[in-house]
Structure 1
Amino acid sequence: MVQTTSSQLKNRLRRADGQLQGIVKMVDEGRPCQDILTQLAAVRSGVERMMGVVVAENVKQCVSQDQLTDDQQTELQAALDLVVKTH
């Protein structure tokens, strides 16, 4: 995985970890279920986005740039961006 992507992924993981720690605290405090579920949904969304980033980076590494025309590279990048955005 590319270094910047690795750093970005680690930052996202740290953020998710912080959110989870916050949720543990919310449970300990007896916070309302709705508040806890809202935070869990945020963590899930973040993790799903991270999964999209990992998949996209893996595909980029599997496909050599010189195998694709400029138009194909553009199409591939658009598809990968969609995976990251919707995953």
Structure 2
Amino acid sequence: MSEISNQKQIINRLRRTEGQIRGIQKMIEDDKECVDIITQLSAVRSSIDRAMGIIVAENLLHCIDQPSENTEEQNKKIQQAIQMIIKNKITPLGIRIQFPYT
């Protein structure tokens, strides 16, 4: 994680998300409407997707801006980032995308 320049931004986002999750727990305990709970869960998912996108983008930018002398290691990191994008269906902006063959 030391390669991430937006670490403070990501930590703040995760703290807000943590608060949202606590709020959702309270909503469930208070028997709030299902649609309201789902709306909040969707907001949490979007926030986490955004954090994931930022982290993956930072990793890719680091590989491009500061190439490793060990090209095999660098290629492995890039492949890992690509696999994370495909597996989690995210973009660097954290927007969920649909891949036709996954």
TM-score (norm 1): 0.73
The sequence identity of aligned pairs, in percent, is 44
For structure 1, list consecutive stretches of 5 or more residues without a partner in the other structure: 67-81
* Structure 1 residue ranges, 4+ long, deviating more than 3 angstroms after superposition: none
Q: Which residue is equivalent to 2:51?
A: 50
Give the total of aligned pairs.
71
Q: Which has the higher contact order (CA 8 A, sep 6+)?
A: 1
When you count helix as a share of all residues, which structure comes out higher? 1
1:83 is aligned, of 82, 86, 92, to 92
TM-score (norm 2): 0.63
For structure 2, list consecutive stretches of 5 or more residues without a partner in the other structure: 68-90, 97-102
> 1:64 Cα shift?
2.0
Question: CA-atom RMSD, angstroms?
Answer: 1.8
